[in-house]
Structure 1
């Protein structure tokens, strides 16, 4: 178990595009962490000195346990502090492709209204969908224009109904500058960024949508149903493994491009979105090495954000650089109409020192 843990931690440092099997070893790390905890309980209850080994592993690897489970007390921004609340949400195109039944239309309307009326200062929306001449899906108008929000929408695709699909940022604060990080011509995934004037301080906001895992619920169901049929199970297992491998490799390249841009930013930054990778991945690890994670610093519990057949997955995150401090984090499980749950975080914009000015 200890060797498994060590291998998993080492594989977090390995770019999957250079050695893709490392992605699978890192992906299994939560199993080793949970097993170590049960070993600790077992040896303590057995009154054996061997409890020292799993206890030592737990203490040395506490930062990795914190990625699994956050324990923080509720905080409030200090009186007079400059606070900024950011909402991130993969809207799943407001379920526009699930059918135009009255039930689906009502769900889309509810989702759009929930976002439009959320008290966050900034919205970062992935798989955003807007159709100008639609009473239901004219989301730019319903979320941005109606509430006088500044906005930036980068369109990745246009569907047959002339609806736009992409990544969007809405803000109550003025947008000074904006841009797009395109990964490659064939990919709809991208990162957009805006520099916001937050009461005299410039804060750069990134809204990221990295390569999908491309695993549908039927893929998982097919794999489970194939258990007992060796040939069918191998076929479905290889299919899942191939999709995971392709995702590991693509996201490894994409996060490097994103971090290169973040490092060159002259402003403090918040990087949020759908990263399509768990906290035990090269993608997450690279981001966590240069930034703090808002859930780890201010959240509570497991914080699962994927609303699908695989439970306990946290694949949506908010990271931030120095000069900011997370004082609140929430996973909005009450909004379960997308295949992702929204997340919001409240930040204190720390006063700049004279040297920084």
Structure 2
């Protein structure tokens, strides 16, 4: 009779255990499916199939969820642990876009071959908080940071010339950075030149420059400058790809999402509006990235790329531009190093410093986590190894 009781207890346990196993297998299968789609998002153009771009957006979070399946399988069915282990190993190279453990050098000797590079989307230098013709505290903090960084090459996205005659941003940057050469492109809209755009400042002479204009877009662009350093020419790309263009109401909705869920109609309408904006931005960035990638390939000089891509390392846009280039963060960065400081995409890296490793080597990579804009500034010290003169 005792044996019968034991058998009954075991038989009662099995169905519950089996259900949990099936549930975990279903969850694991779903995770692997989304993980695969997120991996493929880097190669499928959003202007051909845009839904895949959303899976690229959540790729790092799905990868983290996949890793968290390990302890669950350990306690439920250890023999299934190989699934998250193997899948994580298969995407390990891609995970390096989101987390790095490089050692930071204690000290770096000054050298004529070094290039101190700084890129920053300054959000118009906090223009709308200027009062009585005087810059805001945030703007002054940006100037002080540029002064402390002493970059050799400075790429600024969402540049603004200045609101009043007594505030000329370019003069202030020259004063604080010591950079004497510049190339600034202002936005032209409805036949009128606006005082905002994209700017490149250099310690060395700029001997040539050009623009890659994006179709049906006057607010985002890419510029390139040919810079001569110690007799050798390099080409620096400074770009700002399509943004999502969210309104203040959209940001408010995102930050108060839980409160708004009570109003189902409002939630549905606003969510669809934001999704449409995301979709449109994914599609437009695809063609913009291809245009930049083609120009990089055509460059007769060693290439450096800086800018605000407005997209993650899992995106099609990033892979179109970064193809055959080295990411300074992957080479010399440490930690998560997110660059977006807003509420919409926390912990996302959407600003980049890239280079051709045949001609450059990154000694370090740094991101200052100060909220002076909706982006964090990023910088890297590169060593320039110019091609041999023929």
Normalising by structure 2, report the TM-score.
0.83
Contact 2:155 2:201 in 1 (8 A): yes
Shift of residue 222, structure 1, vs aligned partner: 5.4
Identify the match of residue 83 of structure 1 among 83, 95, 114. 114
Which structure has more helix as a fraction of its residues? Answer: 2
Q: Distance in 1 between matches of 2:293 and 2:36?
A: 26
Please identify the structure whose Cα radius of gyration is greater: 2
- The within-5 A match list for 1:219-230 is 219-221=253-255, 223-230=257-264
Counterpart in the other structure of 2:159: 128
Deviations along 1:46-80, one digit per CA (max 9) or x if unpaired, are 68132222111111111111111111011366785
What pairs with 1:276-315 in structure 2 (closer than 5 Å)? 276-309=310-343, 310-315=345-350
Label 1:221 to 1:302 Cα distance change in 2 as closer, same or farther (>3 A): same
Out of 342, 349, 356, the position equivalent to 2:377 is: 342
CA distance in 1, matches of 2:269, 2:245: 17
Q: Give 1:320's aligned residue.
A: 355
The 1:80/1:340 distance shift into structure 2, 3 A limit, reads closer
State the Cα distance separating 1:285 from its structure 2 match. Answer: 2.2
Provide the C-alpha distance between the structure 2 equivalents of 1:123 and 1:158, rounded to a whole number of angstroms.
26
Cα RMSD over matched residues? 2.6
Distance (Å, rounded) in 2 between the aligned partners of 1:122 and 1:207: 11
SS of corresponding position for 2:379:
strand
Deviations along 1:271-315, one digit per CA (max 9) or x if unpaired, are 111111112211112233321111111111111111111320111
Asked if the contact 2:59–2:314 (Cα under 8 Å) also holds between the matched residues in 1, the reply is: yes
Check the 8 A contact 1:132/1:163 in 2, yes or no.
Answer: no
The 3 A distance-change label for structure 1 pair 227 and 130 is same
Over 3 Å counting, the alpha-carbon distance change for 1:282 and 1:22 in structure 2 is same
Q: Matches of 2:135 and 2:76 in 1, distance apart? A: 55
How far the C-alpha of 1:352 sits from its partner, in A, is 2.9
- 1:329 counterpart = 2:365: yes
Structure 1: segments with no counterpart, 5+ residues:
none
TM-score (norm 1): 0.90
* Larger deviation, residues 117-126 vs 282-291: 282-291
Residue-by-residue CA offset, 1:31-54 (whole Å, 9 max, x unaligned): 220111111243346681322221
Summarize deviations over 1:90-129 as a string: whole Å, max 9, x none. Answer: 1111111235279962322232333244211110000111
Match of residue 270, structure 1, among 293, 304, 307: 304
1:109 counterpart = 2:143: no
CA shift at 1:258, angstroms? 0.4
Distance, in Å, in 1 between the alignment partners of 2:75 and 2:165 is: 64
